[in-house]
């Protein structure tokens, strides 16, 4: 039995299943709810970006996760 903690919200993820209950981005482990918040935070920005650039997207996602680690949640703009 393996236990992992979400780097953003600090909740325990017991019996993690990669890409289902735990998501890894660089050195950060995200739980499912934090990963959903990350997707929601990037959705509107990604739709308006033209032309799309994967390097820019990766940088934006990492910055959001790093900000979330400091604040214990990923800021989702509505």
Length of the chain as a residue count? 78
- Indicate if the pLDDT at residue 55 is higher than 90: yes
Q: Which of 14, 43, 40 is nearest to 29 (CA)?
A: 14
pLDDT band at 1 (very low <50, low <70, confident <90, very high): low
pLDDT band at 78 (very low <50, low <70, confident <90, very high): low
Q: Are 37 and 55 in contact (CB under 8 A)?
A: no
Report, as an integer, the average pLDDT of 10-26: 92
Higher pLDDT, 44 or 34: 34
d(CA 15, CA 52): 36
What is the residue extent of each domain of the chain?
3-71
64 burial class (0-12, 13-18, 19+ CB within 10 angstroms)?
buried
> What's this model's pTM, rounded to 2 decimal places?
0.87
């Amino acid at each position: 039995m393996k236990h992992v903690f979400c780097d953003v919200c600090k909740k325990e993820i017991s019996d993690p299943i990669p890409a289902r209950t735990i998501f890894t981005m660089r050195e950060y482990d995200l739980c499912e709810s934090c990963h959903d918040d990350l997707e929601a935070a990037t959705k509107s920005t990604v739709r308006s970006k033209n032309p799309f650039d994967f390097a820019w997207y990766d940088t934006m996602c990492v910055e959001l996760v790093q900000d979330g680690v400091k604040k214990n949640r990923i800021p989702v703009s509505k």
